[in-house]
A and B are shown apart, each in its own frame.
Chain A
């Protein structure tokens, strides 16, 4: 019994080694494919790659890497919560933009001492994100609408709903229409900087969220039920885990984490919501980061840092004559190859384990 659980632990370690190895292998394959693309389009891949390394490893750029990794960690964690239940929350994009607008607006209507004000806005953002996600959750459990389709549709609905709210109610008109933002937040609502002007404390909040994700999903009873329902819905249901409640909870948690994605910008840079001051596409990038990090906390942080690293080099890359969009192309190809290599190597690993077990069973003598 004891040796059995030990062996399981070994096999668990071995499978995560396989995962890590295949991820690194996938990244290399992606870099080779991109080198091919760069060659075809008449650019020198070695020069581009060395430029990326050279600029990215500079001290200032490493800070920018952390800054850019912050929203990615949050949105990837939001996506990962859904993934653990086999729910594909493509709607992080709409959830975080909606939350950013609502939180930035609500933050201007209260006056509180500094730490409480920031906490209040973060809380509002989480509630707003969860509220937007709750539409998809309700459609899923009441009417059985697939969350992939409903969250895609809700992304578009969110975009036009936000635009409508912003243009008609929340826009700050005090500057004679020049200011394309909500009213600027009070000083007490600003997230303190870790490194002045370079990195704010949302980075720590993001790390905290990932840590809580790890505790809740991998160490709590609820997390066990969630993962069990994701791995084998039928077995989970028969053992008494309520499937619908699990789906609703997972989507709400996912939405509330998604609500935080734009907070580094709302609380740390623009101090308001604005269509141009709040970056878009972070939800989709989060899907990529979650996939690359295999929904594991450590993996998510690593993948977010990798993406942040690549993103931080894009401006210099453009200056040196290579279009900066190649960075995003590299990211997309990395995700695709890593997912493919992971899939293939896990299949091979499982097959070998099965063969080995079968061989052992053959040689073992059973007392009949």
Chain B
């Protein structure tokens, strides 16, 4: 009987993984009356906040898949914010994004020269690159932005134009050739029905008021996945991360591929910085990246070095940040959700006789339950650390299941004995 249920679960895994949490969330929403949990506002800002993290995670993915650790993502993002802000001020928003990508690629190229050409320790190069970018853009700001209208040593003048936003027709009432299509998801969201209301809110959050830059960013994920896992180039690139000597012996130019992978990685990081300066804000500001490069690195790790995992991780962090920003009052309800979800997972783990996992989930259940009962408002200073705490917990609990590219971090020299 139990086995048959488990088998059923396995068969309809995807549906279970989507519908069960969603109904649970919906139930919590109705029970606590916290509609913002799944409102289009919250989900929309979650998406906006997730995009830079997503791009940073993809930057890490491209670098590590070709075999080079990239601690310097934060620095490349800083270059992206500066060049993006500068380009958007001089030539307009789209040109700014292009400059951001170029700025990030420059960072990627420096990292590649240091680690691939000269074989220095990859963590060292990344750390130094972060320092270099942080102070380098300050130097540039001092030369370029100081004395300009609205500019200064720590910020650029505002951008010349903005990137337009779009609503998807039919789903969220976008325009089709001047005709305003119906807003189905918005209608559904307003009904606030069980499950359907949540689907409406989440769907509308993901399909309305979208910046074209976000659309491009999200489409880059399947494109990366396709290149890395479905093309010859991708196979070679991944093989130089898994087993460079074997790849070389089969005629793959590992050195050149690592250069390529790092420049692409830098481009992604630069774009991440560019969206921060151009889409999330309208000018470059010092400290705009605020450690998102490292959060990106974290999403890559517990996304198990896969694009879909990075996407899921970035959405999770984006959602946590979005709730904090738009719907701070709903945070206790979120604790209730986590608590019940943990309880359900305790039962699943109990059925499967996984004692260690049961205990750790039980701890989460008790802690988040206590948080729901006692915490009314979470102090702002502590919520900032949530993504980092989550990352540590995930790393500490699921470490065995994650698998990094085998040779990421190991310097490679052509013809060296191995």
Once the chains bind, are A161 and B385 in contact (CB under 8 Å)? yes
Provided the pairs A161-B385, A287-B127, A333-B132 are in contact, do residues A145 and B119 lie with their beta carbons within 8 angstroms?
no
Please count the residue pairs between chain A and chain B whose beta carbons lie under 8 angstroms apart in the complex: 123
The one of A90, A164, A340 in contact with B127, judged by C-beta atoms closer than 8 angstroms, is: A90
* Assembly CA distance A45 to B106 (angstroms): 23
Number of B residues whose C-beta is below 8 Å from A? 42
Q: Considering the complex, give the chain B residue whose CB is closest to the CB of A38.
A: B139
Q: Which of A116-124, A255-263, A265-273, A321-329 contacts B (4 or more CB under 8 A)?
A: A321-329
A249 in contact (CB, < 8 A): no
A167, closest chain B residue (CB): B381
**Residue contact A148 to B139, C-beta cutoff 8 Å:** no
Is the beta-carbon distance between B132 and A139 smaller than 8 angstroms? no
For residue B183, give the distance in angstroms from its CB to the closest CB of chain A.
Answer: 39
- B129-144 at interface with A (beta carbon < 8 Å): 130-132, 134-136, 138-140, 142-143
Which B residues lie within 8 Å of A332 (CB)? 128, 131-132, 135-136
Q: Kindly identify, within residues 297 to 334 of chain A, every residue whose CB is under 8 Å from any CB belonging to chain B.
A: 323, 325-326, 328-329, 331-333
Which bucket holds chain A's interface residue count?
35 or more
Task: Return chain B residues, CB-CB under 8 Å to A90.
Answer: 71, 123, 127
> What is the interface of chain A mostly: helix, strand, loop, or mixed?
helix
Closest A-chain residue to B294, C-beta based? A152
Does B215 sit at the interface, judged by CB under 8 A? Answer: no
In the assembly, what is the distance between CA of A206 and CA of B245, in Å? 46
A163 with B381: in contact, given A143-B395, A325-B135 (CB under 8 Å)? Answer: yes
| Closest B residue, CB atoms, query A344 | B118
In the assembled complex, which residues on chain A have CB atoms less than 8 Å from the CB atom of B123?
88, 90, 148
| Contact A340 B381, CB 8 Å, known A323-B142, A329-B132 | no
Complex Cα spacing A103 to B130, Å: 29
What is the bound-complex CA distance between A335 and B124, given in angstroms?
A: 9
Answer whether A343 and B143 are a contact pair too, CB < 8 Å, given A164-B379, A291-B124, A329-B132: no
CB within 8 Å for A328 and B131 given contacts A88-B123, A139-B395, A340-B114: yes
Asked if A157 contacts B114 (CB within 8 A), the reply is: no
B109 within 8 A of A: no
CA distance A323 to B138 in the complex (A): 8
With the chains together, A164 CA to B383 CA distance in Å? 10
Contact A335 B142 (CB under 8 A): no
CA distance A290 to B256 in the complex (A): 31
Least Cβ distance of B266 to chain A in Å?
A: 16
Alpha-carbon gap, A344 to B118, bound state (A) = 7
Check A160/B138 contact, CB under 8 A, given A153-B392, A154-B392, A340-B114: no
Chain B, 28-50, contact with A by CB distance < 8 Å: what is the 0/1 string? 00000000000000000000000
Contact at B381–A164, with CB atoms within 8 Å?
Answer: yes
The yes or no answer to B120 lying at the interface (CB within 8 A) is yes
Cβ-closest chain B residue relative to A42:
B143
B130 CB contacts on chain A under 8 angstroms: 284
Is B222 an interface residue when CB atoms closer than 8 A count as contact? no
Q: Please give the distance in Å from B413's CB to the nearest CB on chain A.
A: 9
Instruction: Say whether A326 contacts B139, CB under 8 Å.
Output: yes
Of B71, B120, B139, which contacts A323 at CB under 8 A? B139
Cα distance, A163 to B130, chains bound together (Å): 24
Instruction: Determine if A156 is an interface residue (Cβ-Cβ < 8 Å).
Output: yes
B391 at the interface (CB under 8 A from A): yes
Which residue from chain B places its CB closest to the CB of A144 in the assembled complex? B399
CB contacts (< 8 Å) of B8 on chain A: these are none
Q: Of residues 297 to 350 in B, which have CB atoms within 8 Å of A's CB atoms?
A: 297-298, 301
C-alpha spacing A143/B383, complex, angstroms: 25
Q: Is A288 an interface residue (CB 8 A)?
A: yes
User: Which chain B residue has the least Cβ–Cβ distance from A347?
Assistant: B119
- B residues contacting A by CB (< 8 A) are 71, 114, 118-121, 123-125, 127-128, 130-132, 134-136, 138-140, 142-143, 153, 291, 294, 297-298, 301, 379, 381-385, 388-389, 391-392, 395-397, 399
Give the interface of A toward B (CB within 8 A).
Answer: 41-42, 88, 90, 139, 142-145, 148-150, 152-154, 156-157, 159-161, 163-164, 167-168, 284-285, 287-288, 291, 323, 325-326, 328-329, 331-333, 335-336, 339-340, 343-344
Further contacts, 14 of them, CB under 8 A, given A90-B71, A153-B388, A323-B143? A41-B143, A145-B392, A156-B384, A157-B388, A157-B392, A160-B381, A160-B383, A160-B385, A161-B382, A288-B127, A325-B135, A332-B128, A332-B135, A343-B120
4 closest residue pairs by CB, A with B:
A323-B142, A328-B135, A332-B132, A160-B385
